[in-house]
Amino acid sequence: MKRFLGFLLVTVACASAQSIRYSAERKIWLLTTNHSSYAMGVDANGSLRHLYWGGPLWREQDIAAPTPRRDVSSFDPKQMLENEEFAGWGGPRYYEPALKITRENGVRDLVLKYVTHRIQQNELEIDLKDIRDAIEVTLRYRVYPETGMLRRNAVIRNRTNQPITVESAQSATWHMPPGVGYRLSYLTGRWAAETQLHREPIHEGMKVLESRKGHTGHAINPWFAIDEGSASEESGRVWFGALAWSGNWRITVEQTPYQQVRVTGGLNPFDFAYPLKPGEMLETPEFFAGFSPNGFGAASRLMHRFEREHVFPQSRLRPVLYNSWEATTFNVTEQGQKDLADKAAKLGVELFVVDDGWFGKRNNDRAGLGDWFVNPQKFPQGLKGLIDHVKGLGMDFGLWVEPEMVNADSDLYRAHPDWVMNFPDRPRSELRNQLVLNLARNDVKEHLFGVLDKLASEYDIRYFKWDMNRAFSEPGWPEETPAAQRKLWVDYVRNLYDILDRLRAKHPKLEIESCSGGGGRVDLGILKRVDEVWPSDNTEAFDRLRIQEGFSQAYAAKVMSAWVTDVPNMNRRSTPLQYRFLVAMQGALGIGANLNKWTDQDSALATRMIDLYKRIRPTVQTGELYRLLSPRTEDVTANQYVSGDGKQSVLFAFRHSQQYNLAAQTIYLRGLDEKAVYRLESVDNKLADREPELSGAYLMRRGLNLNLRGDFDSTAVILLRVQ
């Protein structure tokens, strides 16, 4: 009996720890994590219906089985009220479908019903099938109990004996709790002004966030957050998500006339058609989402932690980087680079990167792209001499590449004019004098893998900066049938991922940065495969504060490259060197300035700042970020990072422009232990409080005052927990 009781206890304990539970009797799934729950059920007609998404629930009996609804009118069918989890376009359904197809005979109706499911630890697969045909969809779910994140996508299979064409293939539809008054946060921008945070009320109708440009795009980033209308950094319920796809993507935010907000995202249906022959399948991108009961700050902290633990490649802390682009542009020479390397090493730089201009006939942006062999005039002995020099100085070596592109004036294009995407007898539009290779072609993919693999094998290269400096145009693939040509949008991205995955597997120490004219390719799909991303070509420090604020809504500081560059910069603005350093030190610090022009004082300050950065780097790159004061709304911008173990915290503060001789506002710290005592170290003596040690309670409730004066003043304070 005792043994039996013991066994029972163990089973009960396991069941309650289970993150995915299914009630066979009521056909309900409850996915539960530390931070959120998500519920679905099958109704009497066999439709899979969404039931709940929000804070954690523990009792599945609380969730009622989906009840049948009635048509409201002949214009308002019950289907519009039923919140189907993944709706096909068929029957009387007028909202944004998750899947739309055409059969060979022209029949386009698709009504999906539940068939079966499988649960394996934190993963759930639910099979749906059309009411008539063997067109099948597997919905894939994974829960991440520690952060409460959910991952969803879908696999669409044609098991009929006729071809079909997929016209819209989404990853997921997310339903908000029924009601109105929601607000959408999203990130917009353009070249040199990416990730600007916007918030606006959600009304009836549909808001479309998307890219049609072939890459993720500068204009909108594939991230959203929805709150009940009044959430702040630290309070309010927030539902948020991000799509892992670096090609044409779309997220629609729709409020139906029935007070239901639905978010549907996946492959952009614009110019989309994906033929599936009998037996073929299409898998949609992963869509990650989470829930925070404590505002936007907690939402992004959950996201950051999740990314560090489950998305990013598990690589070292980002080293301090020097990139020679802004110093030399295309005028790269072996001696010039060696001189810069000497200077960079003295400052404490750990990774020296040669940017554009080292290959082919690349003396400006009109020629050479595609010819990835070392320019013999600039580097008579190849790159080895420079790399040995850089390594001798104790730094790693990195190299810029832009594999997907070709100049018309290049040996590659002369040999393979058919390798670029094009429509026959139509213009091939050049942007920055370059054309886009059709990476959907496997011969192009193999060629590019070969080029990069050769470079990484021949030379001791630790790091590629992988650039992509234009969007697609004329996306034709003449070698394919007209019906299959539009696969290019998807297959291009798949092949890009394949090259990155293979390169990393073959060269495990190789690190990669994703750049696309700045932040044109920043998303969780590429971030699975690269170690950092370049948020913007705009390195002007004040503009950067807002770009970084937006970036941090969705992405963790570890992957955010941030450079110190020369002034005057964009907007003809000149900010002090310390200000520029402290702005850049909030991510993965790099320097892109022309070191040949720096004075001894500049170099001395830079050495001190780099030294300081190395002390706080683990906290910045792997700690928790608290956005205390926003550059969008305040004169002072303040961000605070707290290390995972709570022992170190660092506060960065920037004043835009003092007026009327007023003191800077008080800064209330967060994320500290109120009972603990912290020792304060100011980088430049701007602490108004003279006490060397202060309690967490005081720092969070009374706050800190900083002597920030004039325009573009800045400071940082390191806090060390002493008891």
What are the residues binding ligand GLA (CB under 6 A)? 325, 355-356, 400, 467, 469, 515, 517-518, 537
Q: In the complex with ligand GLA, which residue's Cβ is closer, 52 or 464?
A: 464
Strand pairing partners for 186?
198
How far apart are alpha carbons 417 and 413 in whole angstroms? 5
Least distance from C-beta 530 to ligand GLA, angstroms? 15
How far apart are alpha carbons 223 and 209 in whole angstroms? 9
Query: Is residue 293 helix, strand or coil?
Result: coil
133 an active-site residue? no
* Residue whose pair of structure tokens reads 């040999």 in the numeric block: 415
Instruction: Compute φ and ψ for 357, nearest 5 degrees.
Output: 105, 0
Q: In the complex with ligand GLA, which residue's Cβ is closer, 235 or 329?
A: 329
Q: In the complex with ligand GLA, which residue's Cβ is closer, 41 or 518?
A: 518
Least distance from C-beta 340 to ligand GLA, angstroms? 15
CA atoms 422, 428, 431, 432: torsion sign: positive
All residues at 6 or more sequence positions from 612 whose CB lies less than 8 Å from its CB, including other chains: 585, 683, 716, 718
Q: In the complex with ligand GLA, which residue's Cβ is closer, 469 or 695?
A: 469
Given the residues 371, 537, 543, 566, the one annotated as active site: 537
Query: Is residue 449 helix, strand or coil?
Result: helix
Q: In the complex with ligand GLA, which residue's Cβ is closer, 350 or 467?
A: 467
Angle at 596 between CA 594 and CA 601, to 5 degrees: 95
Q: In the complex with ligand GLA, which residue's Cβ is closer, 514 or 552?
A: 514
What would the DSSP string read from start to end of 556-611?
A: -GGGBEEEE--SS-GGG----HHHHHHHHTTSEEEE-S-GGG--HHHHHHHHHHHH
* Residue whose pair of structure tokens reads 């080895």 in the numeric block: 384
Q: Please return the burial class of 423, using the count of CB atoms within 10 Å of its CB with bins 0-12, 13-18 and 19+.
A: middle
Q: Please return the burial class of 10, using the count of CB atoms within 10 Å of its CB with bins 0-12, 13-18 and 19+.
A: exposed
CA atoms 13, 18, 19, 25: torsion sign: negative
Q: Check if the beta carbon of residue 562 is closer than 8 Å to that of residue 547.
A: no
Least distance from C-beta 326 to ligand GLA, angstroms? 8
Least distance from C-beta 331 to ligand GLA, angstroms? 12
Q: Residue 5: how many CB atoms within 10 A of its CB?
A: 9
711 an active-site residue? no
Least distance from C-beta 98 to ligand GLA, angstroms? 36
Q: In the complex with ligand GLA, which residue's Cβ is closer, 184 or 455?
A: 455
Are β-strands 261-267 and 164-175 bridged in parallel, bridged antiparallel, or unpaired?
antiparallel
Given the residues 467, 523, 543, 566, the one annotated as active site: 467
Task: Select the residue whose beta carbon is closest to ligand GLA and give its number.
Answer: 356
Q: In the complex with ligand GLA, which residue's Cβ is closer, 290 or 518?
A: 518
Least distance from C-beta 46 to ligand GLA, angstroms? 51
Least distance from C-beta 393 to ligand GLA, angstroms? 22
Q: Check if the beta carbon of residue 475 is closer than 8 Å to that of residue 422.
A: no
Residue among 250, 247, 252, 171 nearest 216 (CA): 247
Q: Please return the burial class of 707, using the count of CB atoms within 10 Å of its CB with bins 0-12, 13-18 and 19+.
A: middle
Q: In the complex with ligand GLA, which residue's Cβ is closer, 353 or 582?
A: 353
Q: In the complex with ligand GLA, which residue's Cβ is closer, 85 or 467?
A: 467
Are β-strands 636-642 and 261-267 bridged in parallel, bridged antiparallel, or unpaired?
unpaired
Peptide bond into 376 cis (omega under 30): no
How far apart are alpha carbons 688 and 691 in whole angstroms? 9
Instruction: Compute φ and ψ for 433, nearest 5 degrees.
Output: 60, 25
Least distance from C-beta 356 to ligand GLA, angstroms? 4
How far apart are alpha carbons 490 and 484 in whole angstroms? 11
Least distance from C-beta 454 to ligand GLA, angstroms? 21
Catalytic (active-site) positions: 467, 537
